[in-house]
Amino acid sequence: MRVLRAGLILLIILGVLAVVADRLAVRWAEGEVASRTQTAMELEREPEVSIEGFPFLAQVAGRELERVRLSLDAHRIQLDDQEITARDLSLDLRNVVLEDGYRSAVARDAEGSAVLGYGDLSELATQDVLGLSDQLALELSYAGDGAEDHQVAVQLLILGQEVVPPVLAEMSFEGDLLALRLDEVPSLPLPGLEDRLRDIVHRERTLHGLPSGVTLEGLVATERGVELTFTGTDLPLGGNGLG
């Protein structure tokens, strides 16, 4: 009986040690992935990394990780040559294959999202209308539940005051181009200003700075900002992988 009890205790201790070793290996690997991914995907800083699936060491032995999640609370991107902050950047990597003797890794499938805040978009739009007058500003905001998914509200301010009702604008994308189109231009006190305002606001901007290897797939206006979604396949996670 004592031998059986000792054997059970030994098995429990070995099991606990195996779990601890597995979790320690995960933490070390998450740090390695964060560092390699920052370089490979051209991110400003290391993302938070979560490697899912258990046991981790069995996945490593099989040379494929089920799922790796990356996240950054803020990441600078560019629209043409003007910087803007993409917030809550997340990337969900699936079927991450470890290659070349664990020296490299490739994510077979990826999807992610990021949010462009209305405050940042307003600053960008205001830069455009300053060419007309330094008294003008544009303020973008959520258009409400009754609006279409791609519509935002645009308020024209003169000397910081709302002098005309807000109008709806359509945000769209094609490839790496983001476009803003006013559904209508408010009647303004200065003759010809409406057409000049439309010409300035109606424009496309080239989006730079999403994680390397992903393609923009969707755009929707939400209460917290304009949410971009993107996907990718066969994304390299950097040389030297997990070893």
| Within a domain: 193 | yes
> Would you say residue 115 has pLDDT above 90?
yes
Shared domain for 98 and 30, answered yes or no, is: no
Query: Which amino acid makes up residue 228?
Result: L
96 and 178 in a single domain? The answer is yes
Q: What element of type H or E holds 92?
A: strand 82-99
Q: What is the mean pLDDT of residues 64-92?
A: 88
Q: What is the structure's pLDDT at 240?
A: 39
9: in domain: yes
How many whole angstroms separate alpha carbon 206 and alpha carbon 209?
Answer: 10
What per-residue confidence (pLDDT) applies to 241? Answer: 37
Mean pLDDT of the chain: 77
* Residue 50: pLDDT over 80: yes
Verify that 39 and 96 share a domain, yes or no. Answer: no
Per the structure, the complete domain to which residue 178 belongs is given by 87-236
80 in any annotated domain: no
Is 154 in the same domain as 102? yes
Helix (H, G, I), strand (E, B) or coil at 146: coil
Q: What is the pLDDT of residue 217?
A: 92
Per-residue model confidence (pLDDT) at position 101: 63
Q: Which string of b and e fits 105-127 if b means at least 16 CB within 10 Å?
A: bbbeebbbbbbbbbebbbbbbee
- The pTM score is 0.80
Q: Is residue 77 part of a domain?
A: no
The residues with which 213 forms a beta bridge, in sequence order, are none
Confidence bin at 239 (pLDDT 50/70/90) = very low
Domain count, the chain: 2
pLDDT > 60? residue 5 = no
| Strand-strand pairing, 104-116 and 177-182 | unpaired
CA atoms within 13 A on the CB side of 100: 12
Q: Does residue 81 belong to any structural domain of this protein?
A: no
pLDDT at 88: 92
- Look at 69-73, 101-105, 206-210 and tell me which has the smallest mean pLDDT: 101-105
Instruction: Give me the pLDDT at residue 116, please.
Output: 94
Task: For residues 202 and 125, state if they share a domain.
Answer: yes
Looking at residue 136, its pLDDT comes to 78
The secondary structure of residue 30, as a DSSP letter, is H
Shared domain for 57 and 93, answered yes or no, is no
Residue 157 has pLDDT above 70, yes or no: yes
Task: Tell me the per-residue pLDDT of 169-194, one tens digit each, with 9 for 90 and over.
Answer: 888 888 888 888 877 766 666 656 66
Residues 228 and 174 in one domain: yes
Q: Which amino acid is at 23?
A: R
Q: 125, 198 in Cβ contact below 8 A?
A: no
